[in-house]
């Protein structure tokens, strides 16, 4: 889905243009032209954002051939403090058979380098907000029309609202200026796909709690609990009412041997949502492991009363506990 464009095919086209083709083209043009408009910022975003911003510290890597994927990744990874070079990234994310890189692997490779990929869903508002927050954004564009796609990754690093231009490290061109309208037209063709790469502990300025939670959980699966702990701590600080965040922090702490910290986190989880059965279950299991029978009993009993996927397991653990106690 993502070969990057090489910009030298214009000369090869000197073939036949025919009247029906021209007619079809004119009709298409009229049809498509209706869709293009300058993206509008919402009132609140508009007030918060400065007139212009440029993340000058984001390094530029020129793409070779079709390798805009690895080049874009190198730029955001370098910007977040990972000193990886293009030659390392190409065999990790480039698909020779497709002459491009696919979206899932862009995210996966970010994880391999110890950064959390957060997909940004909020459209143009979110894009500018993230840039303003200091996060360079990898965007996926179709520079051409849907019928003849030219998929391309670039890194959005700045904007000028007065001039209505977005500034991108793109292809062979650092700090390329593109009008908001043109950019949005090409970006919309990828359903406005974009992501940022952040070190554990930093959170996106825009993403909702659930997406952030899943992004961190996916990162933890690859990089392990120890690497994910700062991310979970930042998450619960930002979203104290999200019980799953506390639950996840508890698991991560437990995995590195911090039982006491884990118990605190599980307690926070059930405080935030007393209906989160799996947190009661883990709290009980951990108390049981630490030999704190009464507390284990109490927590498991709570877990066993909540219908759902974990009820059976909580009941079994409770029975085990009673048998062991006698």
Partner 1 sequence: MMKKLYRYLSPLLIAALVLGSLPVAAAPASTDSGLVSTQEALTTERVQQDRERIHEVLARDDVQQQLVAQGVDPAQVEARVAALSDAEAAQMAEQLEQLPAGASVVGALFAVFVILLVTDILGLTDVYPFTR
In the range 305-324, which residues lie near partner 1 by CB under 8 A? 309-310, 313
Instruction: Give, in order, the Cα–Cα distances in Å from 226 to each of 60, 142, 231, 248, 257.
Output: 31, 38, 10, 12, 10
Determine which residue in the list 178, 190, 206, 207 makes contact with partner 1, applying CB under 8 A. Answer: 178
* Closest to partner 1 by CB, 206 or 247: 247
Contact 321, 300 (CB under 8 A): yes
Work out how close the CB of 44 gets to partner 1 at its nearest, in angstroms, rounded to a whole number: 27
Work out how close the CB of 183 gets to partner 1 at its nearest, in angstroms, rounded to a whole number: 8
Determine which residue in the list 91, 162, 291, 294 makes contact with partner 1, applying CB under 8 A. Answer: 91
264 contacts partner 1 (rule: CB under 8 A): no
Contact 305, 296 (CB under 8 A): no
Work out how close the CB of 309 gets to partner 1 at its nearest, in angstroms, rounded to a whole number: 5
* Closest to partner 1 by CB, 129 or 235: 235
* Closest to partner 1 by CB, 72 or 129: 72
Q: Which of residues 208-237 bind partner 1 (CB under 8 A)?
A: 213-214, 217-218, 220-222, 225
Query: How many residues line the site for partner 1 (CB under 8 A)?
Result: 83
Q: Using CB under 8 A as the criterion, what x/- string covers residues 138-177 for binding partner 1? A: ---x-xxx--xxxx---------------------x----
Work out how close the CB of 99 gets to partner 1 at its nearest, in angstroms, rounded to a whole number: 5
Q: Using CB under 8 A as the criterion, what x/- string covers residues 26-65 for binding partner 1? A: --xx--xx-xx-----------------------------
HSE at residue 297, side-chain half, CA atoms within 13 A, is 8
Work out how close the CB of 126 gets to partner 1 at its nearest, in angstroms, rounded to a whole number: 21
* Closest to partner 1 by CB, 16 or 51: 16
Determine which residue in the list 166, 254, 270, 299 makes contact with partner 1, applying CB under 8 A. Answer: 254
* Closest to partner 1 by CB, 21 or 240: 21
* Closest to partner 1 by CB, 118 or 129: 118
23 contacts partner 1 (rule: CB under 8 A): no
280 contacts partner 1 (rule: CB under 8 A): no
């Amino acid at each position: 889905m993502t070969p990057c464009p090489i910009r030298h095919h214009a000369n090869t086209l000197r073939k036949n243009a025919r009247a029906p083709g021209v007619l079809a083209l004119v009709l298409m043009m009229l049809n498509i032209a209706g869709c293009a408009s300058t993206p509008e910022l919402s009132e609140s975003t508009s007030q918060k954002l400065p007139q212009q911003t440029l993340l000058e510290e984001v390094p530029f890597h020129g793409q070779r051939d079709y390798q805009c994927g690895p080049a874009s990744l190198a730029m955001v990874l370098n910007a977040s403090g990972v000193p990886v070079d293009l030659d390392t990234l190409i065999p990790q994310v480039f698909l020779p058979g497709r002459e491009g890189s696919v979206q899932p692997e862009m995210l996966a490779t970010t994880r391999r380098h110890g950064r959390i990929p957060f997909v940004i869903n909020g459209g143009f508002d979110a894009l500018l907000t993230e840039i303003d927050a200091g996060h360079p954004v990898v965007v996926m564009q179709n520079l051409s029309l849907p019928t003849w796609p030219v998929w391309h990754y670039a890194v959005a690093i700045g904007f000028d609202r007065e001039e209505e231009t977005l500034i991108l490290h793109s292809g062979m061109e650092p700090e390329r200026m593109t009008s908001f309208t043109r950019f949005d037209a090409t970006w919309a063709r990828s359903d406005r796909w974009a992501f940022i790469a952040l070190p554990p502990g930093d959170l996106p300025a825009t993403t909702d709690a659930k997406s952030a939670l899943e992004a961190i959980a996916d990162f933890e699966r690859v990089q392990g609990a120890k690497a994910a702990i700062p991310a979970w701590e930042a998450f619960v600080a930002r979203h104290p009412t999200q019980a799953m965040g506390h639950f996840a922090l508890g698991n991560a702490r437990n995995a590195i041997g911090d039982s006491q910290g884990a118990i605190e986190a599980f307690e926070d989880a059930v405080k935030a949502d007393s209906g989160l059965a799996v947190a009661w279950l883990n709290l009980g299991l951990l108390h049981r492991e630490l030999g704190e029978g009464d507390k284990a009993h109490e927590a498991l009993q709570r877990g066993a009363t909540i219908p759902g996927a974990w009820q059976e397991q909580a009941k079994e653990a409770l029975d085990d506990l009673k048998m062991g106690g006698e």
